[in-house]
Structure 1
Amino acid sequence: MNLLTALQDGRHDSHDALRIDGTALSREQLLGAAGAVAARVAGAKAFAVVARPDARTVAAVVGGLLAGVPVVPVPPDAGPVERAHILRDSGAELLAGGDGESGPAEVPVDLAERHDFAGPEPAPERPAFVLYTSGTTGPPKGALLSRAAVAADLDALAEAWGWTSEDTLVHGLPLFHVHGLVLGVLGALRHGSRLVHTGRPTPAAYAEAAGSLYFGVPTVWSRVVAEESAARALAGSRLLVSGSAPLPVPVFERLAALTGRAPIERYGMTETLITVSTRWDGERRPGSVGLPVAGVATRLVGEDGEPVPADGESVGELQVSGPTLFDGYLNRPDADAEVRTADGWFRTGDVATLGPDGFHRIVGRASVDLIKSGGFKIGAGEVEAALRDHPAVADAAVVGAPDPDLGQAVVAFVIPDGPVTGDQLTAFVAERLSVHKRPRRVVLVDELPRNAMGKVLKKRLLEG
């Protein structure tokens, strides 16, 4: 199965088929540079790539995929503890984009290099990626995504969004997770659309790109509508897609008013890829993520395990099934068991409603411990563990507080055990974890509210 269809058959090539943070490449140039990487990494157990938003990252990722080696994207802002965990847990033998620190052997990436890699086409069931995702407790888990799952999802999205080689895709999203990398890079390389990655997703950069298809998270779209001239410049686009967190209804409405384009909303997870979306040729309803994409089935299940009626009001846990699902967590059969039902469906942990017309509305998280901030998913337990490592912290609880810009802001409630300030604790976390996981606010308290079993009552923290 050819995962990178348009890249490898040379369709619709041009000198700037890909423009990434100002660097222009033809598909032929990308394929040559990636081929050189593939020759160096072929046969490795796993290949880690520090996923900065630049052309070398794309060449490294494509090189790993050409060679059939699982690619392990590493957040460029990951702290030493997080990075060490990802490299160790994934078994990565090689690394691109490192800074010379000890660890896997460094693989050079030269955009001027050309190599016609002639290795066999990897089997569809081979892992394409090991993507690390934060859970509610402990360090991130590596989700195994097969080449077949990635291809199935990208093809389903092409059908749902009318995505063709005539499009110019624009986004500035990070290249270490599904939205920015799988959809935002591999989608273009599979379907033949021109790609403009803006480096950072600023309103000005989006306005200048003159694309037909735009990807953004709610934080991006809220900033776009705050600059009316930038928003109005998107009026020539065909489709505006929002994901990774719910799009606030006022932002939806403002974006539609300024651009003349009601945005598309979609829903997915690292473990499932994108499973539900509104369509390019269908209704776009504020607060709704629409219908299952081709090949995917969904269901709502109540706490009693019984089906929830599709009445648009009854709430249940959203469960999904289909060819886009991951193959499990690397080395974590215990975690796999927690998210699989007896009949093989994936438990998302999100609660939703389902209307008689099949439209899905995501109501919230079954747990308060997974925070969605600025398009990122952050496990509260991981941040709490980092805070507790500080010598002046007796205990900590982390929650996601509503935020008009980020969706949710990471807020830490800390019981100090010595002199310490909120700024010091924020810096302490940012040095150990990805910078986006740092608390936006630290509240020093004498105690944390707990139930009779000693569990912290996080909803009470949010209410207070």
Structure 2
Amino acid sequence: MSALFPALAAAARAAHGTHDTHDPHGTDGDVRHRPALRFGDRELTYGALACAAGAVAERISGAGRVAVWATPTLETAVGAVAALLAGVPAVPLNPRTGERELAHIIRDSAPHLVLAGPDDELPPVLAALERIDIEAAGPGGVSGPGEAPGPGVRALPAEPGPETAALIVYTSGTTGPPKGAVLPRRAIAATLDALADAWEWTGDDVLVQALPLFHVHGLILGVLGPLRRGGAVRHLGRFSAEGVGRELGTGATMLFGVPTMYHRLAEAVDGDPELAKSLAGARLLVSGSAALPVHDHERLFAATGRRVVERYGMTETLMNTSVRVDGEPCPGSVGLPLPGVELRLVEEDGTEITALDGETVGEIQVRGPNLFTGYLNRPDATAAAFDGDWFRTGDMAVRAPDGQVRIVGRKATDLIKSGGYKIGAGEIENALLEHPQVREAAVTGEPDDDLGERVVAWVVPADPARPPSGDELAGHVASQLAPHKRPRTVRFLDALPRNDMGKIMKRSLPHG
């Protein structure tokens, strides 16, 4: 059986008559008939998933490493689950990755084969790998709610040890070629169980998401998370406010998204009472992968009465903190350290910051069972990433008197040293977004002979024909925060450069 997925293991045992058929999470009925995965109008119950993933796991057992062509499809989810069942490390591949970067990932991870959907067209760089087409239906067929999975459900393999590599997820590579973060089974289980504690996440929850499956947010939290709890996930394939409203209005209880998605929901909800009703009825709305602007927090709350919960994590650490569902809402905060996670802030020289004043900026360091085991083939990079047994996140934050963490930006791109002050770009961005004539905003630092660095604002105006003046925006920030945090330069753009997860790519902003 697989300890990562108790309900899946129960479905396989029940099919073989080696255990009772009841759901291990205490709900009524045969666990084999419970919905597990739904992508569009295609659905697998736990019984059908055990059959389909078990069949693939049987074929790849002992394969070393496998690549997974990670499209937003049922096949990708089945392939990832199959690799975990087989105890084979999986390397999710972003189908939009360029040929040079993809070739680097393949050379570095050296997978023995690639899992893909039968209709997927793979690039030439993968031609040398043995290909296994994932049959999502499996011998049991695709089953809808209430349908039996059919014959052919396999007995699942024995559970590998907790330190066994589960996934190798490649980082964005902003300072060089992407590095493969090796995530053990222990880290996945620890993160998902800690989130279950913080969010009161159970097998009764049905999750809606539309996230890419080559990142930890969409794959680990958004697919493996529901499966570990014995619940269900409904993946939209492509995000739309209409799709979110439809699913939350028909039985789904949770929504996972990134700030870009919540921004679009905030824009759509005012003129859509049905969407407002669906969002208001959700048990939990979660945003992650980047900071959700306070302005969008407040717009959604005003329209729905629901607060969006933020959490904080990264590829190497999975999840570190979260706002708890039983805690006080705090827009702009990513909450408290999750159970089992230790977190501290440090100065540039490594001195620990003990002040809980909401003002003193330091780098976040973490340690706990949620951490990766290292970068594949990069012992130098792994060593450099740690301060003893503390992982250096590169994220800058402050801590409030109650311990709540508020991230102010990345050390490399968002910490601005101006006139003797350490300024986080994030709080300036939030202030700019509160201005009615600002649609999007990013803040960076640029060299300045007098100040060391000056604050530069990149703004997408709400009305391109009538942008606000730079002096007006500088005055707005100074009145909201402090005079030394005001932008000294304001540049207007038609759009901000973003990656697949909606994060602003500040390194891609044009030089002034």
Decide: shared fold, TM above 0.5: yes
Superposition map of 1:223-238 within 5 A? 223-228=264-269, 229=272, 230-238=275-283
Superposition map of 1:27-42 within 5 A? 27-42=46-61
* 1:50 aligned partner: 69
Q: Write the deviation string for residues 123-165 of structure 1: whole angstroms up to 9, x where unpaired.
A: 1110110000123311110000000110011000000001001
Alpha-carbon distance between aligned partners in 2 of 1:401 and 1:133, rounded to the nearest angstrom: 26
Alpha-carbon distance between aligned partners in 2 of 1:113 and 1:4, rounded to the nearest angstrom: 19
Q: Aligned match of 1:107 in 132, 142, 152?
A: 132
Tell me by how many angstroms 1:337 deviates. Answer: 1.5
Specify the code of the residue in structure 2 equivalent to 1:103.
A
Alpha-carbon distance between aligned partners in 1 of 2:308 and 2:502, rounded to the nearest angstrom: 26
* 1:63 aligned partner: 82
C-alpha contact (below 8 Å) 2:9/2:156 kept by paired residues: no
Q: Aligned match of 2:256 in 215, 228, 233?
A: 215
Q: Aligned match of 1:193 in 231, 234, 237?
A: 231
Q: Aligned match of 1:244 in 271, 285, 289?
A: 289
Superposition map of 1:13-412 within 5 A? 13-14=32-33, 16-97=35-116, 99-100=121-122, 101=124, 102-114=127-139, 115-210=153-248, 211-228=252-269, 229=272, 230-308=275-353, 309-341=355-387, 343-368=388-413
More displaced stretch, 12-21 vs 177-186: 12-21
Tell me by how many angstroms 1:357 deviates. Answer: 0.6
Tell me by how many angstroms 1:22 deviates. Answer: 2.4
* Matched-pair identity in %: 50
Tell me by how many angstroms 1:279 deviates. Answer: 0.3
More displaced stretch, 240-249 vs 86-95: 86-95
User: Structure 1's 29 and 443: CA in aligned 2 closer, same or farther, altered over 3 A?
Assistant: closer
SS at match of 1:158: helix
Specify the code of the residue in structure 2 equivalent to 1:104.
L
C-alpha contact (below 8 Å) 2:413/2:506 kept by paired residues: no
C-alpha contact (below 8 Å) 2:290/2:503 kept by paired residues: no
Q: Write the deviation string for residues 7-59 of structure 1: whole angstroms up to 9, x where unpaired.
A: 22233553643211321111111111111111111101111001101101111
User: Structure 1's 117 and 76: CA in aligned 2 closer, same or farther, altered over 3 A?
Assistant: farther
- The TM-score normalised by the length of structure 1 is 0.79
State the Cα RMSD in Å: 2.8
* 1:2 aligned partner: 3
Alpha-carbon distance between aligned partners in 2 of 1:316 and 1:87, rounded to the nearest angstrom: 36
Tell me by how many angstroms 1:186 deviates. Answer: 0.3
Alpha-carbon distance between aligned partners in 2 of 1:14 and 1:20, rounded to the nearest angstrom: 17
Alpha-carbon distance between aligned partners in 2 of 1:130 and 1:271, rounded to the nearest angstrom: 10
More displaced stretch, 15-24 vs 329-338: 15-24
User: Structure 1's 367 and 443: CA in aligned 2 closer, same or farther, altered over 3 A?
Assistant: closer
Tell me by how many angstroms 1:193 deviates. Answer: 1.4
User: Structure 1's 443 and 250: CA in aligned 2 closer, same or farther, altered over 3 A?
Assistant: closer
SS at match of 1:266: strand
User: Structure 1's 439 and 316: CA in aligned 2 closer, same or farther, altered over 3 A?
Assistant: closer
SS at match of 1:107: strand
Specify the code of the residue in structure 2 equivalent to 1:51.
A
SS at match of 2:394: strand
Tell me by how many angstroms 1:439 deviates. Answer: 8.2
C-alpha contact (below 8 Å) 1:45/1:91 kept by paired residues: no
User: Structure 1's 37 and 400: CA in aligned 2 closer, same or farther, altered over 3 A?
Assistant: farther
Tell me by how many angstroms 1:304 deviates. Answer: 2.6
Tell me by how many angstroms 1:434 deviates. Answer: 7.8
Tell me by how many angstroms 1:112 deviates. Answer: 2.7
Specify the code of the residue in structure 1 equivalent to 2:262.
W
Specify the code of the residue in structure 1 equivalent to 2:51.
G
With a CA cutoff of 8 Å and minimum separation of 6, indicate the structure with the bigger relative contact order: 1
Alpha-carbon distance between aligned partners in 1 of 2:457 and 2:155, rounded to the nearest angstrom: 46
User: Structure 1's 438 and 214: CA in aligned 2 closer, same or farther, altered over 3 A?
Assistant: closer
Gaps of 5+ in 1: 373-398, 406-428, 445-460
SS at match of 2:372: coil
Bigger radius of gyration, 1 or 2? 2
Q: Write the deviation string for residues 319-371 of structure 1: whole angstroms up to 9, x where unpaired.
A: 00100000000000111112100x21000001100112110000111002999
Tell me by how many angstroms 1:95 deviates. Answer: 0.2
Alpha-carbon distance between aligned partners in 2 of 1:59 and 1:350, rounded to the nearest angstrom: 34
Alpha-carbon distance between aligned partners in 1 of 2:170 and 2:457, rounded to the nearest angstrom: 20
C-alpha contact (below 8 Å) 1:318/1:350 kept by paired residues: yes
Tell me by how many angstroms 1:443 deviates. Answer: 8.2
Q: Write the deviation string for residues 377-411 of structure 1: whole angstroms up to 9, x where unpaired.
A: xxxxxxxxxxxxxxxxxxxxxx9956699xxxxxx
Specify the code of the residue in structure 2 equivalent to 1:56.
E
Tell me by how many angstroms 1:245 deviates. Answer: 0.2
Specify the code of the residue in structure 2 equivalent to 1:79.
G
Aligned length, in residue pairs: 394
Specify the code of the residue in structure 2 equivalent to 1:315.
V
User: Structure 1's 39 and 13: CA in aligned 2 closer, same or farther, altered over 3 A?
Assistant: closer
C-alpha contact (below 8 Å) 1:133/1:143 kept by paired residues: yes
Q: Write the deviation string for residues 233-265 of structure 1: whole angstroms up to 9, x where unpaired.
A: 211111100000000001011111222111100
